[in-house]
């Protein structure tokens, strides 16, 4: 993995990525040329750094959305969190992109229709935006006067790249930010809600209740372990990340491969194939991340956000969203499968990401003090 994705800045991506161009334009994800990719990344990489996410107003909006999510759906006897978690992630990512023109889809109305549109389509290809999000992105970008921490404000500092390229970049970030984090959170909350995980849910709730919502959630060890294990089992993207072997060929794991041979890694395999590192690899065991033994190897094989120069730029935004949502829910409630929940939660592998097979996850929220 290190040879493919980190050596010399990583191998060159294949033409597969061109399939994800927006309106014929190249964005950060689809840029094949390393120089082009680095130039695009330099424009806004600092906005997505861990220190900036934790220190900017983005985190305030994420917390607000998490509390709104919990308030809105905890009173419903059977809440389909699959839909609502995607509303949550849409609201969070649009705050980082366009505020003060962020969506408020958790509250319903036309913003929620953006999410409902995707989940009524036969093809749930959010990467192309669909007409509702496409129009929203163009309208929001044209308005101007975005807050200084937003991607829109930063892109408008580079007028030469053109408005179309700015919108395309934002559409890509929306597409990357909805299904990925929303699906992983859905799988995780379903797993925590199972009777055999009641002790784990209790341990998580106990830790969360030792801190306030505006505290340093990233320092909570068990919360971090729970999230890490969720990302191991249900990583945001299941698409292999193919690259070309460079000119002259390379030796990978003892095998010589000629130039232009396509090589790739995928998170699903890396997170399971070595049972000496991940014992019982298909079992949810967050405690494994608290053990010293094999700690270095676990981190080396962790590929939920990719690796090297092409690591997902939204990694720290996604982690902040997951921490805030889990805090908002499990510091106040326990969850269990709703009585009328019959949909399959089997992992369904899609072209880019994975999702629950039944595209439905109904949970019941119960107050911890009750």
Q: Name the residue ranges covered by the structural domains of the chain.
A: 33-234+312-344+357-364
Phi-psi region of 185 (alpha: psi -120 to 50; beta: other; left: phi over 0): alpha
Q: What is the pLDDT of residue 126?
A: 42
Ranges of the chain whose pLDDT falls below 70: 118-130, 370
Run of H or E including 53: helix 50-55
Q: For position 119, what pLDDT does the model report?
A: 62
pLDDT of amino acid 322: 98
pLDDT of residue 21: 85
Output the pLDDT for position 132. 87
Place of tokens 């892109």: 155
Looking at domain 33-234+312-344+357-364, its CATH superfamily turns out to be Cytochrome P450 (1.10.630.10)
Q: d(Cα 335, Cα 356) in Å, to the nearest integer?
A: 18
Q: Are 331 and 318 in contact (CB under 8 A)?
A: no
Interatomic CA distance for residues 257 and 246, integer angstroms: 9
> 278: Cβ–Cβ under 8 A, 6 or more apart, which residues?
232, 271, 272, 288, 298, 301
> Which positions ≥6 away from 124 have C-beta within 8 Å?
118, 179, 350, 355
Please state, in angstroms and rounded to a whole number, the distance separating the CA atoms of residues 370 and 368.
6
pTM (2 d.p.): 0.94
Tokens linked to 33: 């040329």
**Cα separation, 105 vs 237, whole angstroms:** 24
Query: Phi and psi of 285, rounded to 5°?
Result: -135, 80
Tokens encoding 147: 């807050």
| Nearest-angstrom CA–CA distance, 183 and 89 | 10
CA distance 34 to 284: 37
Peptide bond into 100 cis (omega under 30): yes
Question: 185: how many CB neighbours lie within 10 A of its CB?
Answer: 26
Please check if 243 is assigned to a binding site.
no
Question: Residue for token digits 């334009």?
Answer: 25
Please report the pLDDT score of residue 113 as a whole number: 83
3-state DSSP helix/strand/coil % of the chain, to nearest 5:
55, 10, 35
Where are the extended beta strands (E) located within 73-215?
79-80
């Amino acid at each position: 993995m290190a040879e493919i994705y980190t050596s010399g800045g990583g191998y060159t991506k294949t033409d597969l990525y061109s399939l994800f161009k927006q309106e014929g334009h190249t964005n950060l994800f689809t840029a094949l040329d390393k120089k082009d990719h680095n130039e695009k990344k330099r424009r806004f990489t600092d906005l997505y750094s861990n220190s900036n996410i934790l220190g900017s107003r983005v985190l305030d909006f994420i917390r607000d959305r998490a509390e709104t999510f919990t308030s809105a759906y905890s009173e419903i006897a059977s809440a389909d969190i699959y839909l609502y978690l995607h509303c949550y992630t849409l609201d969070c990512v649009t705050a980082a992109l366009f505020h003060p023109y962020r969506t408020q889809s958790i509250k319903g109305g036309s913003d929620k229709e953006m999410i409902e549109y995707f989940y009524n389509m036969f093809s749930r290809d959010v990467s192309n935006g669909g007409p509702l999000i496409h129009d929203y992105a163009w309208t929001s970008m044209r308005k101007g006067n975005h807050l200084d921490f937003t991607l829109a404000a930063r892109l408008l500092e580079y007028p030469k790249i053109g408005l179309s390229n700015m919108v395309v970049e934002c559409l890509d970030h929306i597409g990357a930010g909805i299904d990925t984090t929303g699906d992983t959170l859905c799988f995780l909350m379903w797993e925590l809600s199972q009777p055999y995980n009641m002790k784990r849910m209790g341990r998580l709730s106990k830790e969360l209740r030792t801190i306030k919502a505006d505290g340093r959630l990233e320092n909570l060890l068990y919360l971090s372990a729970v999230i890490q294990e969720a990302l191991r089992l249900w990583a945001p993207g299941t698409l292999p990340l193919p690259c070309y072997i460079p000119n002259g060929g390379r030796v990978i794991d003892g095998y010589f491969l000629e130039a232009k041979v396509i090589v790739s890694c995928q998170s699903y395999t890396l997170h399971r194939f070595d049972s000496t590192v991940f014992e019982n690899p298909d079992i949810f065991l967050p405690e494994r991340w608290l053990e010293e033994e094999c700690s270095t190897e676990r981190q080396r094989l962790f590929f939920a956000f990719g690796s090297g120069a092409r690591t997902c730029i939204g990694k720290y935004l996604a982690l902040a969203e997951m921490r805030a949502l889990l805090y908002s829910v499990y510091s106040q409630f326990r969850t269990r499968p709703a009585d009328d929940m019959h949909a399959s939660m089997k992992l369904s592998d899609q072209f880019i990401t994975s999702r629950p097979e039944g595209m439905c996850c109904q949970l019941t929220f119960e107050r911890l003090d009750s």
